[in-house]
Amino acid sequence: MTMVNRRTLTMCLANIQTGKVKDPNARTLPEHQCKTADALDKYFNDDGAVNPNAAEHQINAIIFQACAQMELCQAAKGLIHPDHLEAKARVILAHGVGEHAQLDDRKRPL
């Protein structure tokens, strides 16, 4: 038996060959690989990923984080260029409602 931590498992999961896994795990492996690939793709390309099975307290934590980020944007008025703040606020709002932000490439934040 080999053990890996949860963080490492995410990266190892893609390399596991179904034919080398015993039943009943072999049947669920492709599903886990697809879910992992989808989550990583959303995280890196859609500004974040939310587990569709997330509990209410987890969703509330995401909302709280978005509110805190919006407050920081509000506090940065006058310090940061308005175009950057507007783009950042759009990203935060889109993430909060599970969408991809529509941004002008000339105003895209870092």
User: Alpha-carbon dihedral of residues 91, 92, 95, 100, nearest 10 degrees?
Assistant: -10
Rounded alpha-carbon distances, angstroms, from residue 48 to 33, 65, 86: 18, 13, 19
Sequence ranges of the domains in the chain: 6-45, 56-107
Q: What would the mean pLDDT of 54-72 be, rounded to a whole number? A: 88
C-alpha to C-alpha distance for 50 and 58, rounded to whole angstroms: 9
- Measured between alpha carbons, how far is 104 from 62 in angstroms, rounded to an integer? 25
Which of 26-35, 43-52, 84-93 has the least mean pLDDT?
43-52
User: What are residue 80's DSSP bridge partners?
Assistant: 77
Cα gap 83→90, rounded to integer Å: 11
pLDDT, tens digit, for every residue of 26-46?
A: 788 888 888 888 888 887 777
pLDDT of residue 71: 93
Indicate whether 109 pLDDT > 70.
no
